[in-house]
Amino acid sequence: MEKNQNGEARNEEESKPSSYGSDGSICGYDSLHRLLKDNLNPHHFQEVNRLLTGLNCGKALEMIDLPESATALSVEHGFDLQAFYFQADKELLREPRVVRVGLIQNSIALPTTAHFLDQKKGIFKKLKPIIDAAGSSGVNILCLQEAWMMPFAFCTREKRWCEFAEPVDGESTEFLQSLALKYNMVIISPILERDINHGEVIWNTAVVIGNHGNIIGKHRKNHIPRVGDFNESTYYMEGNTGHPVFETAFGKIAINICYGRHHPLNWLAFGLNGAEIVFNPSATVGELSEPMWPIEARNAAIANSYYVASINRVGTEIFPNAFTSGDGKPAHADFGHFYGSSHISAPDASCTPSLSRNRDGLLITDMNLNLCRQVKDRWGFRMTSRYDLYAETLSSYVKPEFEPQVISDPLLHKKPL
Q: Which residues contact 9 (CB under 8 A, 6 or more apart)?
A: 107, 108, 109, 110, 111, 112, 151, 315, 316, 317, 318
State the nearest-atom distance from the C-beta of 46 to its own copies, in Å: 6
CB of 50 to its own copies, least distance (A): 7
Among 329, 386, 400, 401, binds its own copies (CB under 8 A): 386
Q: Does 380 bind its own copies (CB under 8 A)?
A: yes
Rule CB under 8 A: say whether 299 interacts with its own copies. yes
Residue tagged active-site, from 12, 13, 146, 296: 146
Conformational region of residue 262, where left means phi above 0, alpha means psi within -120 to 50, and beta covers everything else: alpha
Could you say which residues in the range 199-258 bind its own copies, by CB under 8 A? 208, 210-212, 214, 216-217, 222-227, 238, 242-249, 252
Euclidean distance between CA atoms 2 and 16, whole angstroms: 15
| C-beta neighbour count of 272 within 10 angstroms | 14
Which is catalytic among the residues 258, 290, 296, 372? 258
Taking the C-alpha atoms of residue 254 and residue 366, their distance in angstroms, rounded to an integer, is 18
Report d(CA 66, CA 246) in Å as an integer: 28
> Residue 352 in contact with residue 301, Cβ under 8 Å?
no
| Dihedral sign computed on CA atoms, order 247, 212, 260, 170 | negative
Among 2, 95, 388, 401, binds its own copies (CB under 8 A): 388
Question: Rounded to whole angstroms, how far apart are CA atoms 90 and 80?
Answer: 32
Q: How far is CA 342 from CA 112, 195, 372, in A?
A: 24, 29, 21
> Minimum distance between the CB of residue 197 and its own copies, rounded to whole angstroms?
18
Cβ closer to its own copies: 268 or 322? 268
Is 146 a catalytic site residue?
yes
Query: Smaller CB distance to its own copies: residue 68 or 327?
Result: 327
Which CB, 93 or 417, lies closer to its own copies? 417
Q: Which residues pair with 203 in a beta bridge?
A: 193
For residues 378-412, b (16+ Cβ closer than 10 Å) or e, as one string? ebeeeeeeeeeeeeeeeeeeeeeeeeeeeeeeeee
Note whether 63 and 85 are within 8 A (CB). Answer: yes
50 lies in the site for its own copies, by CB under 8 A: yes
Q: Give the residue, chosen from 5, 15, 43, 197, that forms a contact with its own copies under the rule CB under 8 A.
A: 43
Does residue 93 touch its own copies according to CB under 8 A? Answer: no
* Catalytic residue flag (residue 2): no
Binds its own copies (CB under 8 A): choice among 95, 384, 400, 401: 384
CB of 264 to its own copies, least distance (A): 4
Q: Which neighbouring-strand residues pair with 103?
A: 143, 363
> Interface with its own copies by CB under 8 A: which range of 24-32, 70-78, 93-101, 160-168?
24-32
Shortest reach from residue 173's CB to its own copies, in Å: 15
> Is residue 406 a contact residue for its own copies (CB under 8 A)?
yes
Count of residues engaged in binding its own copies, rule: CB under 8 A: 99
Q: Which of 1, 57, 72, 196 binds its own copies (CB under 8 A)?
A: 57
- Told to check if 155 binds its own copies by CB under 8 A, we report no
The yes-or-no answer on residue 68 being catalytic is: no
The DSSP secondary-structure symbol of 149 reads T
**273 in contact with its own copies (CB under 8 A):** yes
CA 127/CA 167 separation, integer angstroms: 20
From the list 120, 218, 221, 252, the catalytic residue is 221
Among 5, 15, 41, 197, binds its own copies (CB under 8 A): 41
Under the binding rule (CB under 8 A), the answer on residue 265 touching its own copies is yes
The set of catalytic residues is 146, 221, 258
